[in-house]
């Protein structure tokens, strides 16, 4: 098993929280992992990405080769499209639909949706909307992770356990909320995956 | 023991803690910052009493580390590549004095300039100083090399340079800790009372010692566990990799078997015999290096009259920028891979000052104050406020190195430029701005210096700033006139007043200092969150 995952978003959107949950679950399953992060200047509201690689054999490169990523998980619609050159022709684009507009020339959102719809395999999800229904928009990233969960090579149970470990300090209510967010994301993806 | 999931930076820090470190010294700089932060947050380091607070700049850090080594204890000093320029004087001389307690200098290079002004390769500095250099290819090696590096340092009484690059520093992987950790050294002063006295007569003797040790350093490289000759059947081409380039090579062979002979170099001086073996056995060589073509240039030589050497110099690999699996695939003659094109409507999203950032208000006032004063120019410095160069503010004209704002403004003022404005942050001011301000005061140069005081080292994640609320006393002490030290609060509602103050000081024919003071909003956010966390824990 080998999964190459690109996480994409805007500095400050917390894409590393998604990486932390996948990473914890992968380690729990005894898998190898490499995760390249962005620190420094780019974090100031610029586009950021992380290369997350998991597999049952030792991983060589910290960076994924172009055209070889199995999944692009994006917490922002334009940022997901930015990494299409990384995505393999059989890969999945899992993206949030809510734009993060911190630049004056942000494109027409419908044009971005049109481009997303052109991607062979994709899921587009209103993560904030779903998270708000569950109680807080803060769980949006976990909703997106839920939408990607079928394609990670990691059992759903392992992801749930990782959420329990990571959010344990914040109390049972927060753990429960995030597990519900994970499920809601998965349920949405089951009904709305475009092949 | 279960593996720890660590960044390369963190693996180095944990390695140092386990190898009997007594003190770590550093000024924050991407991608090196997390080494020191890891030690600062480590309970184990705290229990062991490891000294770990931030230094004012890389030079003070390097010298303090050398002092700890003088006293016989193990010291580490960490910086980004350009920080090594700041510390170059003690760095080069520390090879002449040598070490007493083990000393490792970590320099984190940033090829492709993700967060830097250049992509200089610290291995050249190591070679220049004639020190052994270690360059880990993965996180486990980074951990192990710290133990090895301290041993090497104490064996030959020489500081050792560890060179990493961004993808090593900021990538996580599982790391196994050693089952046995080392105790810290007891204090033990140098037995040779003149070892650290670099008077010419003594320095000449010590330098000869350093020169004669080069052969021994090379011998260590030849037998190092980190330098490996991996044989392959296809002798048409031999491959040399340095540091993480090895990973990109392996990535292109999913079965992890490379048909050609490979020499993996992670320790310098370059192991001559291993290179000779590869050269003699193969028809041509391909050199894969993360950084400048150091090994390639040495092998090729000026006349290039030996066998064909391929790499960055002949265009087989791009001359600049970091490596990746695709670049290496092309260099190996394989077919490149790429996914779909980026859709045309996707636009770039450059980093920007945060909403509510005090720097924005400072720049808006400065821009307005300068409107009527052509051809005024603004000399800026290194920090978040460098983003003021971009739209919509476009408020600054230079950014060169730490501290260059004040000195360049002074030089331009000397040439007749009026007004010449310097913009520098509080942490950069204490790092390298104070000495330049003394020059300006001594010359009564007509410059206006804005010291943007947000109370933190913001760009690298909010480390303590050495100024600690003492900026105006420092300026007064240097000799800036009291009435030309102006403190203001950069808020939108104070815009008119702030613009007025700036216009007054721009008109002054001497040194004025304006201190726009308002806490970094990211720092406030962090502080409030930390407070809430403590409160929540108390309640629980």
- Predicted local distance difference test score (pLDDT) of residue B28: 97
Domain-located, residue B107: yes
Domain definitions of chain A by residue range: 2-192
B210 with B233, same domain?
no
B219 with B232, same domain?
no
The verdict on a CB contact (< 8 Å) between A59 and B341 is: no
Phi, psi of B510, deg, nearest 5:
180, -170
Domain-located, residue B339: no
B173 with B211, same domain?
yes
DSSP annotation string for A73-99: EESSHHHHHHTGGGEEEEEEEEEE---
Domain-located, residue B353: no
Residues in chain A closer than 8 A to B10 (CB atoms): none
Nearest alpha-carbon partner for B301 in B317, B288, B285, B316: B285
B303 at A interface, C-beta within 8 A: no
A41 at B interface, C-beta within 8 A: yes
* Residue A144 Cα, gap to closest chain B Cα (Å): 21
User: Which of A15, A24, A32, A44 has the most B C-beta neighbours within 10 Å, making it the best mutation to test the interface with B?
Assistant: A44
User: Which residue in the set B338, B339, B345 is minimally distant from A111, CB to CB?
Assistant: B345
A60 at B interface, C-beta within 8 A: yes
On the question of pLDDT at A38 being above 90, the answer is no
**Residue A45: band (very low, low, confident or very high) from pLDDT cuts 50, 70, 90:** confident
Domain-located, residue B49: yes
Domain-located, residue B459: yes
* Residue B157 Cα, gap to closest chain A Cα (Å): 34
Domain-located, residue B344: no
Give how many domains chain B has, as a whole number.
Answer: 3
B383 with B422, same domain?
yes
B272 with B412, same domain?
no
B36 with B149, same domain?
yes
The verdict on a CB contact (< 8 Å) between B34 and A62 is: no
- Partners of residue B238 on adjacent β-strands: B285
- Predicted local distance difference test score (pLDDT) of residue B154: 98
Closest chain B residue to A120, measured at CA: B340
Taking only the tens place, the pLDDT of each residue in A58-100 is 999 999 999 999 999 999 999 999 999 999 999 999 999 999 9
The whole-angstrom separation of Cα B420 and Cα A192 is: 60
Closest chain B residue to A170, measured at CA: B536
User: Which residue in the set B171, B250, B352 is minimally distant from A44, CB to CB?
Assistant: B352
Taking only the tens place, the pLDDT of each residue in B348-370 is 998 889 989 999 999 999 999 99
- Predicted local distance difference test score (pLDDT) of residue B532: 83
* Residue A106 Cα, gap to closest chain B Cα (Å): 7
Domain-located, residue B78: yes
User: Which residue in the set A46, A115, A171 is minimally distant from B343, CB to CB?
Assistant: A115
Which domain range does residue B398 map to?
Answer: 358-524
B303 with B169, same domain?
no
On the question of pLDDT at A42 being above 70, the answer is no
* Residue B139 DSSP one-character state: H
B382 with B441, same domain?
yes
- Predicted local distance difference test score (pLDDT) of residue A40: 66
Write out residues in chain B with pLDDT < 50, as ranges: none
* Residue B401 Cα, gap to closest chain A Cα (Å): 15
Residues in chain A closer than 8 A to B326 (CB atoms): 65-66
> Of all helices (H) and strands (E), which one includes residue A116?
helix A109-118
User: Which of B290, B331, B351, B385 has the most A C-beta neighbours within 10 Å, making it the best mutation to test the interface with A?
Assistant: B351
- Do B67 and B495 meet the contact criterion of CB atoms below 8 Å apart? no
Residues in chain B closer than 8 A to A52 (CB atoms): none
CATH class for domain A2-192? alpha beta
Domain-located, residue B349: no
Encode B8-29: b = buried (16+ Cβ within 10 Å), e = exposed.
bbbbbbbbbbbbbbbbbbbbbb
B145 with B239, same domain?
no
CATH number of the domain where residue B443 is located = 3.40.50.970
* Residue B385 Cα, gap to closest chain A Cα (Å): 11
B234 with B212, same domain?
no
Write out the two tokens for A130.
């779903």
Residues in chain A closer than 8 A to B460 (CB atoms): 40
Residues in chain A closer than 8 A to B34 (CB atoms): 39
B232 with B217, same domain?
no
- Predicted local distance difference test score (pLDDT) of residue B469: 84
- Predicted local distance difference test score (pLDDT) of residue B447: 98
């Amino acid at each position: 098993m080998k999964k190459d995952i690109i996480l994409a978003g805007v500095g400050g959107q917390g894409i590393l929280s998604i990486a932390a949950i996948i990473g914890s679950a992968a380690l729990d399953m005894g898998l190898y992992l490499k995760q390249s992060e962005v620190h420094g200047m780019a974090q100031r509201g610029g586009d950021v990405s992380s290369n997350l690689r998991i597999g049952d054999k030792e991983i060589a490169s910290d960076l994924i080769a172009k055209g070889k990523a199995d999944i692009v998980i994006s917490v922002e619609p334009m940022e997901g499209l930015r990494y299409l050159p990384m995505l393999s022709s059989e890969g999945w684009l899992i993206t949030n639909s809510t734009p993060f507009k911190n630049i004056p020339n942000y494109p027409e959102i419908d044009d971005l949706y049109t481009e997303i719809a052109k991607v062979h395999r994709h899921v587009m999800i209103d993560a904030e909307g779903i998270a708000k229904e569950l109680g807080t928009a803060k769980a949006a990233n976990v909703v997106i992770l839920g939408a990607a969960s079928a394609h990670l090579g990691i059992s759903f149970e392992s992801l749930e356990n990782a959420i329990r470990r990571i959010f344990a300090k914040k109390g049972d209510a927060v753990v429960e909320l995030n597990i519900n967010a994970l499920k809601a994301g998965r349920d949405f993806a089951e009904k709305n995956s475009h092949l | 023991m279960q593996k720890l999931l660590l960044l390369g930076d963190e693996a180095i820090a944990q390695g140092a803690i386990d190898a009997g470190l007594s003190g770590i010294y550093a000024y924050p700089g991407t991608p090196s910052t997390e080494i020191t932060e890891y030690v600062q947050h480590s309970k184990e380091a705290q229990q062991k009493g490891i000294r770990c607070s931030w230094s004012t700049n890389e030079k003070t850090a390097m010298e303090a580390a050398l002092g700890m080594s003088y006293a016989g204890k193990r010291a580490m000093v960490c910086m980004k590549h350009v920080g090594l320029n700041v510390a170059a004087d003690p760095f080069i001389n520390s090879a002449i004095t040598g070490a007493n307690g083990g000393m490792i200098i970590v320099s984190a290079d940033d090829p492709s300039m993700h967060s830097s002004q250049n992509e200089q390769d610290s291995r050249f500095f190591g070679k220049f100083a004639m020190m052994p250099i270690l360059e880990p290819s993965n996180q486990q090696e980074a951990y192990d090399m710290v133990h090895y590096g301290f041993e090497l340092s104490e064996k030959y009484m020489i500081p050792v340079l560890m060179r990493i690059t961004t993808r090593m520093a900021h990538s996580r992987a599982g790391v196994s800790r050693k089952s046995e950790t080392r105790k810290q050294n007891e204090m033990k002063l140098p037995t040779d009372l003149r070892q650290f006295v670099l008077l010419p007569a003594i320095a000449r003797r010590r330098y000869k010692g350093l020169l004669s040790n080069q052969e021994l350093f090379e011998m260590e490289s030849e037998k190092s566990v980190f330098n490996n000759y991996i044989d392959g059947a296809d002798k048409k081409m031999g491959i040399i990799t340095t540091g993480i380039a090895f990973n990109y090579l392996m990535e292109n062979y999913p079965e992890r078997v490379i048909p050609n002979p490979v020499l993996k170099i992670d320790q310098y001086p370059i192991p001559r015999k291993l290179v000779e073996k590869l050269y003699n056995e193969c028809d041509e060589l391909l050199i894969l290096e993360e950084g400048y073509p150091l090994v390639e240039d040495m092998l090729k030589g000026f006349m290039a009259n030996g066998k064909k050497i391929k790499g960055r110099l002949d265009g087989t690999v791009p001359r600049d920028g970091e490596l990746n699996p695709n670049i290496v695939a092309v260099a190996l003659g394989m077919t490149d891979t790429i996914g779909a094109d980026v859709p045309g409507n996707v636009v770039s999203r450059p980093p920007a000052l945060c909403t509510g950032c005090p720097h924005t208000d400072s720049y808006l006032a400065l821009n307005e104050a300068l409107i009527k004063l052509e051809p005024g120019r603004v000399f800026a410095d290194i920090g978040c406020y460098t983003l003021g160069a971009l739209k919509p503010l476009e408020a600054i004209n230079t950014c060169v190195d730490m501290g260059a704002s004040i000195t360049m403004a002074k030089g331009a003022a000397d040439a007749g430029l009026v007004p010449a404005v310097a913009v520098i942050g509080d942490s950069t001011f204490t790092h390298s701005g104070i000495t330049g301000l003394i020059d300006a005061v001594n010359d009564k140069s007509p410059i206006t210096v804005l010291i943007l005081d947000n109370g933190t080292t913001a760009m690298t994640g909010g480390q303590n700033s050495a100024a600690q609320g003492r900026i105006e006393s420092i300026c007064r002490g240097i000799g800036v006139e009291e009435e030309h030290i102006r403190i203001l609060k950069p808020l939108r509602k104070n815009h008119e007043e702030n613009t007025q103050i700036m216009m007054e000081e721009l008109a002054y024919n001497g040194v004025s200092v304006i201190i726009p003071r308002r806490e970094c909003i990211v720092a406030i956010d962090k502080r409030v969150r930390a407070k809430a966390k403590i409160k929540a824990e108390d309640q629980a």
